[in-house]
Each structure stands twice: as C-alpha cells, then as structure tokens.
Amino acid sequence: MKYVIGIDLGTTNSALAYTEFKPNADRFDKPDVRLMEIPQLVNPGEVRDESLLPSSLYIPGASDFPAGSLALPWNPEPEFVTGRLAQKRGVENAGRLVVSAKSWLSHSGVDRTAPILPWTAPEGVRKVSPVDASAEYLKHLRQAWDAKMPDAPFTEQQVLVTVPASFDAVARELTLEAAQRAGFCDVALLEEPQAAFYAWIERHQDWRERVKLGDLILVVDIGGGTTDFTLIAVTEQAGELALERMAVGEHILLGGDNMDLALARMVADQLAQKGTRIDSFQLHALWQNCRIAKEKLLAPGAKSKEQPVTILGKGTGLVGGTIKAAVTRDDVDRVLGEGFFPRVTSSDLPQRQRRFGLQEIGLPYAADAAVTKHLARFLRQQASSTEHERVRRGASGLAAPTHVLFNGGVLHARLIRDRLIEVLNAWLGEEGFSPVQPLAGEDLMHAVSRGAAYYGLALQGKGVRIRGGVPRTYYVGIESAMPAVPGIPAPLKALTVAPFGMEEGTAVTIPGREFGLIVGEPAEFRFFSSTVRKNDAPGALIEDLGDDLQELSPIEVNLTSADGTGTVPVSFETVVTETGVLQLWCVARDGRRWKLEFNVRERVAQ
Amino acid sequence: MGRIWLAISSFFLILFRGALPDDALAPLGLVRRAAPKAQTTTAAPTAARVSDGALQILSILQRDSRLVDFIMEDVTGYSDEQVGAAVRGLHDQARESLSRYVKLDPVIDGVEGTFTKPVVSDPAAVKFIGNVPAGKPSGGLLRHKGWRAGKIDLPALNPKQDAAIIAPAEIEIE
C-alpha cells in the first residue's frame, strides 16, 4: 500500500492527513483524504489520540515528571516532551518550553542552527535550535504514523510538508533540513495557502464550474501566530482551466494568539482598575479563558452577550481566591474589530517597524496589529508588477480579487470573516468592481494537511496542480567597482539570480557576468529577495536597492580545488529542485561546480 | 471426508458449538491458535490496592477541575455569587474530564415521571420506593434513571508512583 502524507507543520499546532495512492484511479474520482489521530502524552503517564499535535516542546528536568511517566508507545524514555503535555507543563514552567519554533526558523536575525531555544531558559537548561525543535515535531509524527500504520512504513510514503508562502529560501531549506533530521526520505514542500486551496478543490470536484477564466482568488490564512496572503489566478492551459499562484505576502507575525492576549490584557486592565492585580501565571490562565469566552461569544447562533471569565484561587482555597470578570460581545467586537480588523481605506498601509538603536532580540512581531492594513499593503504591492496582466486590477493599480478563501482557526469567527469581506468590498467598490464571493471552506483547522495530501496526488498527475514556482525574486549583492572613499561603503548593486515564478525542476544560468573566486578561501555574498519586484530577468542589475529588497542570510562558497591556488572565474547558475528548494551554484568555465550554502550562523547586519 | 459432509457438519458444529473440532481443522488447512492466556493478577510489580482506582479518579478530577479543592473548602462564608463564579468553570471541566474516562449511562433509559416496568430485578440496580407491595412489584413511576458506568478508560497506573498523592504540593520560585 502506498500513501501520500500531508503534514501541516504549524506555528502552534501540527496535523497529519493522508490518502491512498491508487495508480489506476480515475482522475475525476474523489480522493479519500483522512486525518490521522496523533497519539501523544496529554498528562504524565497518559497517552491519548488527538487530532492536532501542539507544536510545543518541553525540555524536562530531573524534578519535572515522575520516573517512567513520559513513555510513548514507541519510546520508553523520550528526551523531550512534544504535544499537549509539553503545552500544559510549559504554562507552569515557561523556562523549559519551546514554542513558535517555526517563527524562529524564519527569523534571519538569529543563528537558526544554534541552540537558542527556549529563548528565556535559565542558566543550565539544555537548549535546542529552531531546526532541532521542528525536527522533533516531525519525528513525533513519523513515529506516530509507524505506530498506527505498521504495514506502511513512513519512510516508504510520499510526504508533503507545508510552509508559509512567505517563507524565504533559507527558511524553506531549514524546514527541509529538519525533515531530513527527523528521518524523512521522500519529502517535498508546499505553501500553506496553496494547500488550503487544494483542500477546497478536494471538497469541490466541480471547481471548474465555480470559477472562470480571469478570476482572481485571494487566500487569507490567519493561524495562531502568523498571517499569510496569497493570490491565485484562474488561467487557461491547453483549453482547460488552470491555476497559477501570482503573489505571496511578506511574513507577518500576527495571529489568533495576539487577539486572545489582547482580550486578556483588556480584562486584566479592568481588574486592575478595581484594585485586583494578577500575576503572569494568572494572566496565562486568563488568556486561555478569554479564548474560550471569545469562541463562545462568536460561535454561530450564540445568543449570550456576556461570558464570565474566572481565575480560580491559586492555593487550596478555590472559591475564596476566585477572581471574577466578564468578556462582553461589545468588548470582542471592539478589540477584534477595531484593533485587528479596522475598517480602513485601501491606501491605509501598516506602520513600518520602528528601528531602535538598541533592540531586544526576539521574534520580530508585526508592529501594526491591523490585519486589514497588511492586506491593503499586499494588494497595493501588486500594482508595481506590470507583466502579470492576469492579475485583475483597479484603476489605482490595486489588485482586485473576485473570490476569497479563508483558512486558519481565527476565521472560524463569522465576525472576522464578515469584517474582512466588508472591507474588501468597500475597496472593490471604489475601483468599480462587484463584491467578492467567499469560497465556502470547511474544517479550517485541518484544511492545510488535507490539501497537502491531495497535492501529493496532483504531483502524480491525479489532480489539478497550481502552477507557481518561486514566489520571490532573488538577488546577489555586488559591490560597485569605484574608488574607495573612507567611511563610506561602496554602493551595493543587486544582480538578479532567480526570477519570480521560476518553476520547480528548472535551472537558469546567469548570463554576462563572471566573478573571480580565490581557491581555498571562503567567499561570501550578500543575498536579497523581493516579493514585489516581479519583472527582473536573470542577470538584470538593480542599481538602487530601496525598500523593495529584503536582505536574507549571506550565502558563501568555499572553493577547494586539486590544482592548488589561484583565481577561478565562475558564473552563477540557479536551480529550483523538485522539492521546491532554491540552490545557487558557481560554475567554472571547465564545468566544475560548487554549491553556495546559506550562512545562517552569523547575524545579518541590519 | 466428503466435501459436502465436511461443509454441512462444519456449519452445524459452528452453529451449535461455536467452534470446529480438531479433526475438522486439518482438511480445511487450518491450525488452531493458542488460546490467549488468562490475565494473571500478579502481573503488576507492586500489587495495586483496591482503592488505587478510586484515588486515581479523585486525582484526575482534582487535576482537571480542582474538585477536591472545592469540596474540602469551607464555603459557608462566601456569597452565592462568589461560589457560583468558581463552580461554573469547575463544573465544565469536571464534566468533560469524567465523561472522558468513564462513560456514564442511565440504568433505565426512560423518561423520569412515566410508568416503567423494570426488566432487571437486582435491588442494587433497581430500587423500589414508596408504597412497595409485599411481593415483587411489576412497575411504577420512574423517579431516577440511575447511573451505570459503561466503559471505563483509565490510564495505567505508574507502579512507582504513590497513588495516595491526589494532588502534588506546588512551590513557586519567584
């Protein structure tokens, strides 16, 4: 039996879906995509199946758990705790808990292969790298699969791991490295908003009747920790409707957890005004209770206008120490509606991150909490690309989607979906377009893993495939040859090495430029990317770097050559592998090749 | 053995005895599997005491809902509002926790207040109250449906752990 396994490696939760690969199945047959329940420790000594694996890793110390209580069906003494128990115990002892490893994986300000997590661990606690933590979650999923499906070893199945569309080449490669470290064999990457759209196609086999040529679908994916936007155009290929991913947004660290925390802080402020102060442990309990209260207030058909939230007394005195507060529907509307989803115009862009001289190192959370402003910027950014006329645009250049697909737990709330549609429609109205049509998604928590499993079938030619390629343009920085001026660095130019939309399984040689590399010494290049500049051809030189280019980790190559020392003239070649990973090579005139590696060990100078 | 005889005799043997005799297995190419060993009560390294399961339930309810804290607290001095505020969350969690580990079914699945004829006559399962006649009553008004533990699904006890600890003491390091 051969399966395709889709893994949603999420910031806060991970999930696994699978489908049987039938070589002779009719391509119009509805595939049977199933979710796998993931056995995990939920309490010390208690393993239970749950549909999600919380992406939490706990590094147990000697006094944390009774001996033998961490045994898993496949490992009597695991080194780390992953999943529900890690999440629970982490509330009580945050110094040993690793969370949001995925956000760290995409953070170029730190060395992502160095043991840096838990970020706030006290002295003496063993630390792991963001790659290690991701590998632990993937390893847990692999072992869970092998325990559940003994007749179909995990390593013999085809596996798809999803990444945010906004992940750059470095974060993608690190995700793949984590998968390899977790013992994965046949693995490829897939972008999450695309996976969500595949899940919609899987549910609607008649999708060709629901969209038409020229339609533009906006995928809004708001998870626990991140927000991700993608535009997919309905195009035509060989007389049939086809799908093409046109644009992806930048990485925004803003999600449902921020919203629940905002509610908790509001309640804490109300309590403080009445003279009740709560500590950080109680704030955490309040955070969870506010999430539950929010979900109850926003549930379909909810009638109550107010939900009590209580923080039980800490000691054995439960009733006496109980702190009582309430979250009202008005509070939720105000905090979410005005704080996170305000009605803004399409030219209302988010505040840029302010740079302080001394900045605390940590995750680069979005400076502006308004999701609608981030959406405005995303749609506005599409104005500068002229080549992709398949993107429907208004008079002002604003990309104008015809449909919208929601994904992520936050968008369970009708309030938020309605507000996003209302804001989008206002923008579209100004540009003279009719309102967007929401595509009915279901199962917002599991769509990504389901879609990934479906995509595995598409790869085998058993379903429709979204064409996309690399969602960014990549550049290598080159110092201008100019007379040196003391104190002023030579101006930097950017050479285009990978054009936007370069497809998987293709290679391109950068014409017209050679570099002299010294044998035996590492050469380092600065490396940039842009989600906005889409028309730069390979070899094009950008004189003014501007705001459109983001600097990534530097890339380096160390030429070793049998014939001693000297300078070797090389040109660049770019390869996008079938697994979706970008590789840069230096190619000498005689055909010798050296791969350029990302240097994630050094901090990028800002 | 003829094929028809084998087919017919196997049919009736399975129907009436629930198993094939050894001499009918060989012509069918079957081998009897060793019967699963009866569960030995001496398997646990330290013998679990009878009360351990009860303590485990208490410990689970305390862990998930803090039920023991609530029952052991003197609530006479608190207002109904204060007690209510604490109990609401506790109740949700205790209920979720209990229903996860023990499946509770009614003993008689009927409508309370209607005439019911019980099928069982075990006084532990059905209790007659009110003007009970001298002989065995045939039925009456169902006043309480009763509770029966259906499936019990408790995690295995850690033999190294002291079951008497219902909740650990907590020490916070500031």
Which residues on A lie below 8 Å from B66 (Cβ)?
A: 312, 318
Counting residues of chain A whose pLDDT is more than 70, the rounded percentage is: 91
List the domain range (segments joined by +) for residue A297.
Answer: 256-340
Total count of domains within chain A = 3
Cβ-nearest to B160 among A67, A281, A313: A67
Q: Are residues A44 and A158 in the same domain?
A: yes
DSSP A479-511: E-----BTTBPPPEEEEEEE-TTPPTTEEEEPT
Task: State residue B33's pLDDT score.
Answer: 55
Burial class for B73, CB neighbours closer than 10 Å (0-12, 13-18, 19+): buried
Q: Which of residues 66-85 of A touch B (CB under 8 A)?
A: 66-69
CA proximity to A54, closest of A76, A23, A86: A86
Q: Are residues A183 and A260 in the same domain?
A: no
pLDDT digits (tens, 9 = 90+) for A333-357: 899 988 899 999 988 888 765 544 4
Rounded to the nearest 10°, the torsion over CA A509, A510, A511, A516 is -110
pLDDT digits (tens, 9 = 90+) for B92-133: 889 999 999 999 999 999 899 999 988 878 888 898 998 888
* Beta carbons within 10 angstroms of residue A241's beta carbon: 16
Q: Are residues A90 and A183 in the same domain?
A: yes
Report the CATH number at residue A181.
3.30.420.40
Task: State residue A359's pLDDT score.
Answer: 45
CA pair distance A318, A271, nearest whole angstrom: 18
The answer to whether residue A401 is domain-embedded is no
Provide the CB-side half-sphere exposure for A562 (13 A, CA): 1
DSSP A193-248: HHHHHHHHHHH-TTHHHHS-TT-EEEEEEE-SS-EEEEEEEEEEETTEEEEEEEEE
Task: State residue B13's pLDDT score.
Answer: 54
Task: State residue A356's pLDDT score.
Answer: 45
Q: Are residues A101 and A8 in the same domain?
A: yes
Q: Is pLDDT of A480 > 70?
A: no
Q: Are residues A320 and A176 in the same domain?
A: no
Task: State residue A216's pLDDT score.
Answer: 92
Task: State residue A147's pLDDT score.
Answer: 95
Does B71 contact A at CB distance below 8 Å? no
The answer to whether residue A394 is domain-embedded is no
Q: Which of A163, A190, A217 is a domain's end point? A: A190
Helix intervals (H) in A299-384: 329-332, 371-381
Q: Are residues A165 and A268 in the same domain?
A: no
- Whether the CB-CB separation of A169 and A122 falls below 8 Å is answered with no
A–B CB contacts, 8 A cutoff, strictly below: 58
Task: State residue A144's pLDDT score.
Answer: 96
Measured over the CA atoms of residue A148, residue A154, residue A157 and residue A162, the dihedral's sign is positive
Provide the CB-side half-sphere exposure for A605 (13 A, CA): 1
Q: Is pLDDT of A559 > 60?
A: yes
Q: Is pLDDT of B160 > 60?
A: yes
Average pLDDT (B155-161) is 81
Q: Report which residue type is found at A313.
A: G
Q: Are residues A89 and A185 in the same domain?
A: yes
Q: Report which residue type is found at A593.
A: R
Q: Which of A28-37, A372-381, A483-492 has the lowest mean pLDDT?
A: A483-492
CA pair distance B160, A76, nearest whole angstrom: 15
The answer to whether residue A346 is domain-embedded is no
Does B160 contact A at CB distance below 8 Å? yes
Residue predicted with more confidence, A214 or A240: A214
Q: Is pLDDT of A134 > 50?
A: yes
Q: Are residues A183 and A318 in the same domain?
A: no
Task: State residue B42's pLDDT score.
Answer: 42
3-state SS class at A100 = coil
Does B85 contact A at CB distance below 8 Å? yes
Q: Are residues A150 and A271 in the same domain?
A: no
Which residues on A lie below 8 Å from B156 (Cβ)?
A: 45
Which residues on B lie below 8 Å from A312 (Cβ)?
A: 66, 86, 89-90
Report the CATH number at residue A263.
3.90.640.10
The answer to whether residue A146 is domain-embedded is yes
Long-range contacts of B49-55 (CB under 8 A, 24+ apart): B49/B163, B51/B163, B52/B157, B52/B163, B53/B154, B55/B163, B55/B164, B55/B166
Q: Please name the residue of chain B whose CA is at the shortest distance from the CA of residue A281.
A: B172
pLDDT digits (tens, 9 = 90+) for A518-528: 777 777 888 88
Counting residues of chain A whose pLDDT is more than 90, the rounded percentage is: 29
Q: Which of A174, A190, A206 is a domain's end point? A: A190
Q: Is the ipTM of this complex over 0.90?
A: no
Q: Which of A190, A208, A241 is a domain's end point? A: A190
- Whether the CB-CB separation of A191 and A465 falls below 8 Å is answered with no
Q: Report which residue type is found at A234.
A: V
Helix intervals (H) in A93-151: 101-105, 130-148
Provide the CB-side half-sphere exposure for A373 (13 A, CA): 16
Q: Are residues A151 and A265 in the same domain?
A: no
Q: Are residues A156 and A59 in the same domain?
A: yes
pLDDT digits (tens, 9 = 90+) for A172-198: 999 999 999 999 998 989 999 989 998
The answer to whether residue A144 is domain-embedded is yes
Angle at A181 (CA atoms; ends A179, A183), nearest 5 degrees: 75
The answer to whether residue A519 is domain-embedded is yes
* Beta carbons within 10 angstroms of residue B163's beta carbon: 18
The answer to whether residue A353 is domain-embedded is no
Does A437 contact B at CB distance below 8 Å? no
Task: State residue A436's pLDDT score.
Answer: 92
pLDDT digits (tens, 9 = 90+) for A45-82: 899 999 999 999 999 998 889 888 899 999 999 999 99
Q: Are residues A141 and A9 in the same domain?
A: yes
Angle at A589 (CA atoms; ends A588, A590), nearest 5 degrees: 90
Confidence of residue A544 (pLDDT cuts 50, 70, 90): confident
For residue B66, give how far its alpha carbon lies from the nearest alpha carbon of chain A (Å).
8
* Beta carbons within 10 angstroms of residue A387's beta carbon: 10
- Whether the CB-CB separation of A211 and A234 falls below 8 Å is answered with yes
Does B82 contact A at CB distance below 8 Å? yes
The answer to whether residue A448 is domain-embedded is no
